[in-house]
């Protein structure tokens, strides 16, 4: 029997590469695609010798051509850390809008089911807490995060339009802060920043007073939720994340305790513009529809992630 064929965009990225691994292990033929502006080839190198994997170096904001049939598409290409989308605002807008349009067109042409990666950023600096999928959000369209937030909101809109008007099989996941091995050391997000600073014996740069909260999900849990969502018949957005909420100050203390480098210290810095004050997913829907909930607590997930950063952070 022919293997199911899946296209994964953003394949060399943090989450994309874990998805490639998962689908290979599930017996799929995986076509990875990435333009490598934030991807890292080391994340997928181990897949290149496999017969069930191929890779296209391509920017999905331009017309996407894939020979042969496709059963599924996972659209995970996008700069995703605040520093990246500040540096690449136009690419961020284009991959969420033009890139998504191209991939929806491809899905329609191939009669494939498509799952797109949306984000908790569609809720902006939320005035509802925790965030349920029915909350419409509090986003500043012209602030520094607007390029990402609005690209993702447009992405959801056009995906629903293809679903409604073309009957395309679509899935939307709203991903909350996720962490694990293969995050880029210099991507500017809080976990790679704190781990590399702690390992190097530098100051852990807490932005603001550290009272803002986030809820961190281990990548294997996220991948399991995405895998289940793709196989479900639910076309509306689903939150995936770990509801265990923590202040950034507490998070710094946990990483300091884990790395245990006497030279590391806390270094308060100014809070970036429009930095959300709190973020916690309501995962009732994922529990009900997918029978999913996170299995990795932060202690376990951080220990696994520390093993990775020990190897890749240069002191």
Q: Where along the sequence are the contacts to ligand UDP (CB under 6 A)?
A: 81-82, 177, 189-190, 193, 205-207, 212, 214, 248, 272, 275
CB of 197 to ligand UDP, least distance (A): 8
- Of 23, 72, 123, 148, the catalytic one is 148
Nearer to ligand UDP, 168 or 206 (CB): 206
- Tell me if residue 265 is catalytic: no
Nearest 5°: phi and psi at 22?
A: -65, -45
121, two tokens? 């950023």
CB of 139 to ligand UDP, least distance (A): 13
Q: What's the closest the beta carbon of residue 237 comes to ligand UDP, in angstroms?
A: 18
Kindly give, in sequence order, each residue whose CB lies less than 8 Å from that of residue 252, ignoring residues fewer than 6 positions away.
194, 204, 206, 210, 266
* φ and ψ at residue 160, rounded to 5 degrees: -65, -35
Backbone angles phi, psi at 140, to 5 degrees: -90, 110
Q: How many CB atoms lie within 10 A of CB 100?
A: 29
Query: Nearer Cβ to ligand UDP, position 105 or 188?
Result: 188
User: 170 or 280, CB closer to ligand UDP?
Assistant: 280
Count of alpha carbons within 13 Å of 43, Cβ hemisphere only? 26
Would you give the DSSP letter of residue 49?
T
Residue 207 and residue 275: Cα distance in Å, rounded?
9
Which active-site residues does the annotation give? Answer: 148
């Amino acid at each position: 029997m022919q293997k199911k064929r899946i296209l994964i965009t953003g394949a060399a990225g943090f989450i994309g590469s874990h998805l490639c691994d998962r689908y290979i292990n599930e017996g799929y033929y995986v076509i990875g695609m990435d333009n490598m502006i934030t991807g890292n080839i080391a994340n997928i190198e181990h897949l290149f010798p496999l017969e069930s994997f191929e890779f296209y170096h391509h920017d999905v904001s331009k017309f996407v051509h894939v020979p042969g049939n496709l059963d599924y598409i996972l659209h995970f290409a996008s700069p995703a850390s605040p520093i990246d989308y500040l540096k690449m605002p136009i690419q961020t807008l284009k991959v969420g809008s033009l890139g998504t349009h191209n991939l929806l067109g491809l899905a329609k042409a191939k009669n494939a089911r498509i799952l797109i990666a949306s984000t908790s950023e569609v809720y902006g600096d939320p005035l509802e807490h925790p965030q349920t999928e029915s909350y419409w959000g509090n986003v500043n369209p012209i602030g520094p995060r607007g390029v990402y937030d609005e690209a993702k909101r447009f992405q959801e809109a056009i995906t629903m339009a293809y679903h409604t008007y073309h009957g395309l099989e679509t899935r939307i996941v709203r991903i909350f802060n996720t962490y694990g091995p293969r995050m880029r050391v210099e991507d500017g997000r809080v976990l790679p920043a704190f781990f590399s600073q702690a390992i190097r014996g530098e100051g852990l740069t807490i932005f603001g007073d550290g009272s803002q909260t986030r809820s961190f999900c281990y990548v294997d849990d996220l991948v399991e939720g995405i895998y289940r969502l793709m196989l479900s018949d639910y076309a509306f957005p689903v939150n995936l994340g770990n509801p265990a909420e923590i202040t950034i100050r507490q998070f710094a203390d946990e990483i300091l305790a884990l790395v245990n480098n006497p030279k590391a210290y806390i270094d308060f810095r100014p809070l970036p513009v429009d930095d959300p004050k709190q973020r916690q997913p309501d995962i009732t829907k994922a529990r009900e529809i997918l029978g999913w909930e996170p299995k990795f607590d932060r202690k376990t997930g951080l220990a696994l992630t520390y093993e990775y950063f020990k190897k890749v952070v240069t002191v």
